[in-house]
Amino acid sequence: MSANLLQTPIDYLKGVGPNRADLLRKELGIQTYQDLINFFPNRYLDKTRFYKINELQQNTAEVQVVGKIVHLKSFDQKKGSRLVADFIDETGKMELVWFRGQKWIRENLKLNTPYVIFGKTNWFNGMFNMPHPEMELLEEHEKNLRTAMQPVYPSTEKLTKAGITNRVINKLIQQLFIETRGNFYDTLPENIRTELKLISRAEAMFNVHFPKSQELLAKAQFRLKFEELFYVQLQLLIKNLIHKQKIKGFVFDQVGENFGEFYQEHLPFELTGAQKRVIKEIRADLGSGAQMNRLLQGDVGSGKTIVALMSMLIALDNGFQACLMAPTEILSVQHYNGLLDLCKELKTSIYLLTGSTKTSKRKEIHEKLENGEINILIGTHALLEDKVKFQNLGLAIIDEQHRFGVAQRAKLWHKNELPPHVLVMTATPIPRTLAMSLYGDLDVSVIDELPPGRQEIKTVHRFDSNRLKVFKFIRDEIAKGRQVYIVYPLIQESASMDYKDLMDGYESIAREFPLPEFQISIVHGQMKPADKDYEMDRFVKGETHIMVATTVIEVGVNVPNASVMIIESAERFGLSQLHQLRGRVGRGAEQSYCILMTGHKLSEDAKTRLQTMTGTSDGFEIAEVDLKLRGPGDLMGTQQSGVLNLKIADIVKDNQILQLARAYAKQLLAVDPAMTDPRNKMVRYTYDQLATHKNIWNYIS
């Protein structure tokens, strides 16, 4: 079918009209025939059988029954009234009940006429009843393009109010199949369809909206999910290929005195195997002549900073400048102090630029940057301002990149004739599935071992009733000269409630650990920044034993002497947050502990999170569980990635289809990178359409 017909505005579809079209556009983003055909059901009701009234069970979920209404009566109740109908078939009697819309029902229902009713049943006063059933005359039911499995489409309150019900959407899609004669060209090459035994695209489209059976529905969904993920992966892989061919990068072929001197004389510890491997991968990229575009993943404390520094030293050895951009001021300052310390023996000039840098200092930095006196610049978004001009930026490192949008990254590129090499770092382990789709166009390096001498943090779950034992444990650790964090959750809805929780906790701890023997710091979001810094500083210097805080300390605080992390109401935290908080301890050589405190009432999800935390300290494993519990949108704020606007596939549940799709896309490009083989003609056409329309489903038809 011509793609043009599918670009017809939805207003022209029989049964739509201007008002409905307006609502469909606003509520569901349905602009064209194309959008409607790709508006997929999110669940199905299995209407493969009719029940007799005497077969109904007291547990039956949603059922359908054929029978007649023989009597209608209204009953008054405390609020308003209810309308009750006696509904019979040859085996017995049940009641249908309505609390709303009674006038319309009275006027439109036909007595003694066969109806198909569908809904949930309740057992009440020795009889079954069905509140607000879906009803259709048997005669109509038999006429419809209707299948045993009924699709249920996503909806909104406004649509329901305006009478655009599930049935209306279903009717519109039927109309669309009639107008387009349901014929869709195939977008996948024959060899892939044969190998994977995929049904045709037309068959898949029909059966996803009007499945004839469970089996056909499964085949249709598999075919459409594979296709969607295949094109997502194809796009990412091609982007990577083009990037390597087209975008020339500076060739850093020298590994000179900065790198050499640091590696031989000033390295504070032996590099792990993983760090060496990653530095090798980065060196290969920097010398290849193509622009590096690499993602570096490493868990909390795995030593990404050293890798970043050594990469920057290679840029310096080749006569270039480097910059490191972090999402918050705290993190930038920490990177700055850390790098100053590591480079104190080297002749490198390192500067810091953040939102709170004073104007006079800013001017100095702008000048020195342009005349090449600054080798390494560290900072926040402030690095992106137009006034910040480098003499020759060779390497840009971005920390915790998911907090920066794509447009912000692109700004760094335009600071030069040739784009700088880019290294993106994250301590938020990204499950493989998600990395493949979010960063499928980047090369990925992983630091998957911790530096030697780091012991695994012992993590336990304790109920509130064990609190006295936990207090005794804290006392013992403080006696050994250690420090302790006690963290309370931050629940955005209620700052006052958070504050109360924190203050109640603080008071009970102050009673348990009295002055002068014990010193306690307290840090929360409502304090002035100067007070917060003062308290943090006391804890860092070891002047206080216990730090009572909200999640303010999640990122960036480094106190090697703190060996115990107690997380109060741990069930209220997400997994990645728990993992990040646990990463605040275990930074010294001593054995560290993380204690998760909860009440006895726990949801299934909370139990899973606690079991995961006590069972593993592997950030990637934790991220996989988190992804399953929360879904990809939540995990990454993926809206900004643009890739994950998927219509039918689910990146978590369809992990295996995703891997299969990527493998087939790779295989195709390995044999026919330009897609000029006649057998790949439809793939090429679809890919070009896709590139024009940006949305994966705008073209597939």
Residue with tokens 């900004």: 640
What residues contact residue 493 under an 8 Å CB cut-off, 6+ apart? none
Between 627 and 609, residue with greater pLDDT: 609
> What is the C-alpha to C-alpha distance for residues 693 and 642, in angstroms, rounded to an integer?
13
Name the band, by pLDDT with cuts 50, 70 and 90, for residue 700: very low
Which pairing describes strands 376-379 and 350-353: parallel, antiparallel, or unpaired? parallel
In the Cβ-directed half-sphere of 350, how many Cα atoms lie within 13 Å?
Answer: 22
Q: State both tokens at 170.
A: 């279903």
pLDDT of residue 696: 45
b/e 431-467 (16+ beta carbons within 10 angstroms → b): bbbbbbbbbbbbbbbbbbbbbeebeebebebbeeeee
Nearest by Cα to 64 from 174, 163, 146: 146
pLDDT of residue 637: 42
Burial environment of residue 186 by CB neighbours within 10 A (0 to 12, 13 to 18, 19 or more) = middle
Residue type, 489: P
Helix (H, G, I), strand (E, B) or coil at 504: helix
| Residue range 412-417: mean pLDDT, rounded | 69
| Within this chain, domains 257-286+303-426 and 458-616 share the same CATH topology | yes
What string of H, E and C letters represents the secondary structure of 531-543?
HHHHHHHHHHCCC
Does residue 405 register a pLDDT over 60? no
Q: State both tokens at 187.
A: 């977008």
Q: State both tokens at 376.
A: 């390494």
Per the prediction, the chain carries an average pLDDT of 86
What residues contact residue 304 under an 8 Å CB cut-off, 6+ apart? 296, 298, 425, 427, 447
Burial environment of residue 169 by CB neighbours within 10 A (0 to 12, 13 to 18, 19 or more) = buried
Model confidence over 421-476: pLDDT tens digits? 999 888 777 776 677 666 667 788 888 887 777 788 999 999 999 999 999 999 99
Model confidence over 325-373: pLDDT tens digits? 988 787 788 889 889 999 999 999 999 999 889 999 999 999 999 999 9
> What is the C-alpha to C-alpha distance for residues 325 and 420, in angstroms, rounded to an integer?
14
> What is the C-alpha to C-alpha distance for residues 576 and 582, in angstroms, rounded to an integer?
10
Helix (H, G, I), strand (E, B) or coil at 665: helix
Model confidence over 43-87: pLDDT tens digits? 787 677 788 998 887 654 577 899 999 999 998 887 788 899 999
DSSP E strand stretches across 147-301: 149-152, 293-298
Does residue 643 register a pLDDT over 50? no
Q: Which long-range contacts (CB under 8 A, 24 or more apart) does 236-241 make?
A: 236/436, 236/437, 236/440, 236/441, 236/643, 237/440, 237/441, 237/662, 237/665, 237/666, 237/669, 238/669, 238/687, 239/441, 240/293, 240/440, 240/441, 240/442, 240/443, 241/669, 241/673
pLDDT of residue 633: 52
Helix (H, G, I), strand (E, B) or coil at 671: helix
Name the band, by pLDDT with cuts 50, 70 and 90, for residue 497: low
Q: State both tokens at 453.
A: 């001498």
Q: Does domain 458-616 have CATH number 3.40.50.300?
A: yes
> What is the C-alpha to C-alpha distance for residues 114 and 666, in angstroms, rounded to an integer?
57
Does residue 641 register a pLDDT over 90? no
pLDDT of residue 86: 95
pLDDT of residue 407: 61
Given a contact cutoff of 8 angstroms between Cβ atoms, the answer to whether 649 and 225 are in contact is: yes
What residues contact residue 141 under an 8 Å CB cut-off, 6+ apart? 116
pLDDT of residue 200: 94
Q: State both tokens at 116.
A: 């198909």
Helix axis angle, 619-630 to 575-582, nearest 10°: 160
Does residue 175 register a pLDDT over 70? yes
Phi-psi group of 585: left, alpha or beta (phi > 0 → left; psi -120 to 50 → alpha; rest → beta): beta
pLDDT of residue 556: 54
pLDDT of residue 445: 87
Name the band, by pLDDT with cuts 50, 70 and 90, for residue 148: low
Model confidence over 593-608: pLDDT tens digits? 999 999 999 998 899 9
Distance of CA 217 to the CA centre of its chain: 27
The full DSSP string for 425-465 is EESS---HHHHHHHSTTSEEEEE-SPPTTPPPPEEEEEEGG
pLDDT of residue 701: 33
Q: State both tokens at 536.
A: 């943090």
> What is the C-alpha to C-alpha distance for residues 481 and 542, in angstroms, rounded to an integer?
9
Q: State both tokens at 698.
A: 């705008």
pLDDT of residue 203: 93
Q: How many other C-beta atoms are found inside a 10 Å radius of the C-beta of residue 310?
A: 22
Most confident by average pLDDT, 157-166, 482-491, 670-679: 670-679
| Residue range 613-628: mean pLDDT, rounded | 85
User: Which of these CATH numbers, 3.30.70.100, 1.10.600.10, 3.60.150.10, 3.40.50.300, describes 257-286+303-426?
Assistant: 3.40.50.300
What residues contact residue 318 under an 8 Å CB cut-off, 6+ apart? 250, 252, 253, 254, 256, 394
Between 581 and 246, residue with greater pLDDT: 581
Record: fold of 3-45+155-180: DNA polymerase; domain 1 (1.10.150)
The least confident of 30-39, 133-142, 324-333, 377-386 is: 324-333
> What is the C-alpha to C-alpha distance for residues 420 and 293, in angstroms, rounded to an integer?
9
Name the band, by pLDDT with cuts 50, 70 and 90, for residue 635: very low
pLDDT of residue 147: 53
Model confidence over 261-281: pLDDT tens digits? 999 999 888 899 999 999 999
pLDDT of residue 446: 87
> What is the C-alpha to C-alpha distance for residues 193 and 209, in angstroms, rounded to an integer?
21
Burial environment of residue 299 by CB neighbours within 10 A (0 to 12, 13 to 18, 19 or more) = buried
Helix (H, G, I), strand (E, B) or coil at 371: coil
Residue with tokens 């599935």: 433
**Ranges of each domain in the chain:** 3-45+155-180, 49-147, 190-246+664-693, 257-286+303-426, 458-616
Q: How many other C-beta atoms are found inside a 10 Å radius of the C-beta of residue 313?
A: 26
Please tell me the pTM assigned to this model. Answer: 0.64
Name the band, by pLDDT with cuts 50, 70 and 90, for residue 640: very low
> What is the C-alpha to C-alpha distance for residues 410 and 36, in angstroms, rounded to an integer?
34
> What is the C-alpha to C-alpha distance for residues 390 and 370, in angstroms, rounded to an integer?
5
Between 582 and 690, residue with greater pLDDT: 582
pLDDT of residue 638: 37
Record: fold of 49-147: OB fold (Dihydrolipoamide Acetyltransferase, E2P) (2.40.50)
Q: How far is CA 223 from CA 189, 226, 228, 320, in A?
A: 13, 5, 9, 50
Given a contact cutoff of 8 angstroms between Cβ atoms, the answer to whether 410 and 401 are in contact is: no
Helix (H, G, I), strand (E, B) or coil at 282: helix
